Amino acid sequence: MPDRYLRYGDQRYIITKEAEARLNRALDSVYAAGSRGHEWLSLYGSTEAPCRLLIATGVPITIETVPGVDD
């Protein structure tokens, strides 16, 4: 199974399908008409190591897929 990562600026974070869904909702909110132009995203909200990212216009964000060892 391939590993999926969120590339945020020059950092890379492991991303789950659930976190990707939250990211998509945050992006929809950021780019909606009349928005503040930014939104906080808790990448690992339900874990002991929460990671909050500021999703804002102009910050490069991509999802990368890296083939796993068994692929």
Give 66's DSSP letter.
Answer: E
What is the mean pLDDT of the segment spanning 42-70?
Answer: 83
**Strand pairing class (38-42; 11-14):** unpaired
Q: Is the dihedral of CA 27, 55, 9, 12 positive or negative?
A: negative
Helix (H) or strand (E) holding 44: none
CA–CA distance, 42 with 18 (Å, rounded to integer): 11
- How much is the pTM? 0.79
**What pLDDT, on the 0 to 100 scale, is given for residue 20?**
92
Coil/strand/helix, residue 53: strand
What is the mean pLDDT of the segment spanning 54-66?
Answer: 90
